[in-house]
């Protein structure tokens, strides 16, 4: 008897503001099912000619190069190899027991493609549809760009960046879910060009959380001799609340976010795909705030078994958004090392009673420059200047909220140190 094939429709919301999601999450074949993954380390994807003919892709003459760079990001990070080709095919496989055997990236306005964007899904710039068997083996992955949305390779204001969008969708095609780390490529909301008055290309570069996720599925690239180890254990919750609890690791030396996961209702968690090293460990309970809970040493080919007790100081989570250039969002603020920026945080409590900080020793908050602009009665907003030392490596860093010197809440990965220039420097360091 042949294997029973099941279709899975993954809908990605690359909107300006996204709903809460879970970090470093792997897609599964069902409740308690196996993680979805390709059985082969080589994945063949065809790029439809519609990508190069679409009037809704600005700079479409560079589209293939953008898609190739997106594939190369995942290839470089892990033991998977995405191989691209060209195809005259236009439509994705319809839902059913099996696909047509061709994994396709398309933007054609065919009836089958357009059906994916009807109703509520009309606001989604891209959709990935997977076909997999009962053992969780991915058999086909089809990616459709919304033909009604503007996409570009040149940073055109109001458009979605093609490379960033494809990086995100390829993550789904490989078996990854969404991420709660604001600076992750797998974040469930990718900004349009123009947010924060910047061309938004941050998602082109995989975060450490993205990389840990894909390595959990396919292992590291052959060149990564120091990788990978794991951490697993339980979190004993402080209280009997039923809110979501997240656990994440930050590099001990730099403060960069390494990976994050949702803690199961039972208290169990596991994170694979971690580089060797020492990490500080934190939890955030949406009903109780955030706190440091310990540290862990990760070694290659070893699973570190740990038990943590969740602590929180505020009784609830407070922070809701980050911002830049006067705009609030759930997208990380991109900054450059060696420069200074004014950053915003919004919360459900009056922020005048708290202090602000960052996970990186090299990202300093200038407390003398703190302001509290008026954004209406429903939200409290603080604006402060951060000085990013030129020694801070690229990566995602966490803005923190303190009271009496103790961290009580944070937004994980809310500052992304990047090479792409952010010219809106507050002052030169």
pLDDT digit string, tens, across residues 75-117: 999 999 999 999 999 999 988 778 999 999 999 999 999 999 8
- In this predicted structure, the answer to whether residue 5 has a pLDDT above a threshold of 70 is no
Residues 25-53: b if buried by 16+ CB within 10 A, e if exposed: bbbbbeeeeeebbbeeeebebbbbebbee
Q: Cα separation of 226 and 345, whole Å?
A: 37
CA-wise closest residue to 9 among 173, 228, 137: 173
Q: Which two three-digit tokens encode residue 175?
A: 């078996």
Flag the least confident range among 19-23, 341-345, 347-351, 419-423: 19-23
Q: Do domains 5-213 and 225-309 have the same CATH topology?
A: no
Give the sign of the dihedral formed by CA 308, CA 309, CA 313, CA 317.
positive
CATH class as words, domain 5-213: alpha beta
Report yes or no: 271 and 231 within 8 Å, Cβ to Cβ: yes
Assigned CATH for 225-309: 2.60.40.1120
Cα-based distances in Å from 261 to 25, 256, 271, 281, 410: 7, 15, 7, 11, 15
pLDDT averaged over the chain? 89
Quick one: pLDDT at residue 31?
A: 58
Give the dihedral sign, CA 241/243/249/252: negative
Q: What is the CATH number of domain 319-428?
A: 2.60.40.10
DSSP string for residues in 8-45: EEEEE---SS-----SS-B-BSSTT-PBPB-SSSEEEE
Tokens 């509290």, residue located: 372
Can you give the residue ranges of every domain in the chain?
5-213, 225-309, 319-428
pTM of the model: 0.91
Largest CA distance in the chain: 71
CA distance 281 to 258: 10
Q: CA neighbours within 13 Å on the CB side: how many for 410?
A: 28
Give whichever of 96-105, 252-261, 286-295 has the largest mean pLDDT: 252-261
Q: How confident is the model at residue 20 (pLDDT cuts 50, 70, 90)?
A: very low
Integer Rg of the chain from CA = 21
């Amino acid at each position: 008897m042949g294997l029973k094939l099941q279709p899975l429709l993954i809908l990605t919301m690359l909107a300006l503001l996204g709903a809460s999601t879970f970090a470093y999450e792997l897609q599964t074949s069902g409740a308690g099912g196996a993680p979805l993954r390709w059985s082969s380390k080589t994945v063949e994807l065809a790029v439809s000619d519609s990508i190069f003919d679409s009037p809704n892709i600005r700079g479409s003459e560079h589209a293939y190069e953008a898609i190739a760079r997106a594939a190369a990001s995942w290839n470089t990070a892990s033991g998977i190899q995405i191989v691209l080709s060209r195809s005259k095919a236009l439509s994705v496989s319809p839902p059913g027991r099996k696909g047509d055997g061709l994994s396709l990236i398309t933007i054609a306005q065919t009836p089958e493609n357009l059906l994916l964007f009807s109703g509520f899904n009309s606001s989604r710039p891209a959709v990935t549809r997977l076909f997999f068997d009962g053992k969780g083996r991915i058999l086909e992955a089809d990616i459709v760009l919304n033909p009604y949305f503007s996409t570009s390779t040149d940073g055109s204001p109001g458009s979605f960046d093609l490379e960033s969008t494809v990086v995100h969708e390829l993550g789904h095609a490989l078996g990854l879910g969404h991420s709660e780390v604001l600076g992750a490529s797998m974040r469930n909301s990718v900004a349009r060009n123009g947010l924060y008055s910047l061309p938004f290309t941050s998602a082109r570069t995989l975060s450490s959380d993205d990389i840990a996720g894909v390595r959990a599925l396919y292992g590291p690239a052959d060149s990564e001799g120091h990788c990978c180890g794991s951490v697993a254990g339980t979190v004993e919750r402080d209280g009997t609340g039923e809110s979501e609890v997240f656990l994440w690791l930050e590099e001990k030396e730099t403060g960069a976010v390494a990976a994050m996961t949702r803690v199961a209702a039972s208290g169990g968690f596991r994170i694979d795909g971690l580089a060797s090293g020492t990490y500080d460990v934190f939890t955030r309970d949406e009903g109780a705030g955030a706190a440091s809970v310990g540290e862990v040493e990760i070694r290659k080919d070893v699973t570190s078994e740990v038990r943590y007790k969740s602590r929180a100081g505020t009784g609830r989570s407070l922070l809701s958004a980050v911002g830049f250039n006067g705009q609030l969002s759930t997208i990380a603020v991109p900054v450059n090392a060696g420069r200074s920026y004014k950053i915003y945080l919004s919360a459900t409590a009056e922020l005048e009673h708290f202090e602000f900080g960052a996970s990186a020793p090299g990202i300093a908050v200038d407390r003398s420059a703190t302001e509290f602009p008026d954004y209406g009665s429903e939200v409290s907003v603080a604006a402060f200047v951060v000085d990013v030392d030129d020694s801070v490596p690229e990566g995602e860093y966490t803005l923190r909220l303190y009271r009496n010197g103790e961290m009580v809440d944070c937004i994980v990965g809310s500052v992304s140190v990047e090479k792409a220039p952010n010219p809106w420097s507050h002052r030169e360091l």
